[in-house]
Amino acid sequence: MKGLKISQVAKEAGVNIETVRYYERLQLISEPERTESGYRVFSPEVVQRIRFIKRSQDLGFTLAEIQELLALTENGERTCEQVREFATQKLNEIELKIQDLQKIQSALQDLLSKCAEGENNVCPIIERLQE
């Protein structure tokens, strides 16, 4: 039986073996054939699929979202418009997170500036958090 061992898949995809097993459990990659002795034998295409998953994660997509993306690519009816809509939604989420992080940054900067004003071992940060 020709194919790749799990260690070869992991190495070529740039992930660890547990990641391959995890993706298999989540059905992000198809269940591989097994040898008579029970060893997994993966097709070479699984390496490209894992790379797709990892690149998608690098762009902020969750594994659930990646499953949806993969479904779009597999149904044979995908359109660029569907994928563009999906990516636009993700971009909007990221922009909202950035706005939230900027608010947090501003609040922390404000608290830190009050720290210099603190007297008599009274911490204005702690006082503000306890309000």
Q: pLDDT (tens digit, 9 = 90+) per residue, 3-25? A: 999 999 999 999 999 999 999 99
- The closest alpha carbon to 70, from 80, 88, 56, belongs to 56
59, 78, 97: which is the final residue of a domain? 78
Residue numbers of the domain that contains 95: 86-131
- In a shared domain, residues 2 and 25: yes
Of residues 72 and 59, more confidence is placed in 59
33, 53, 78: which is the final residue of a domain? 78
For the cut 60, the answer to whether the pLDDT of residue 96 exceeds it is yes
H helices of 26-79, in order, are 45-58, 63-74
- The verdict on pTM exceeding 0.85 is no
Q: pLDDT (tens digit, 9 = 90+) per residue, 22-52? A: 999 999 999 999 988 888 899 999 999 999 9
Contact 20, 10 (CB under 8 A): yes
- In a shared domain, residues 4 and 64: yes
- How many domains is the chain built from? 2
CATH code assigned at 61: 1.10.1660.10
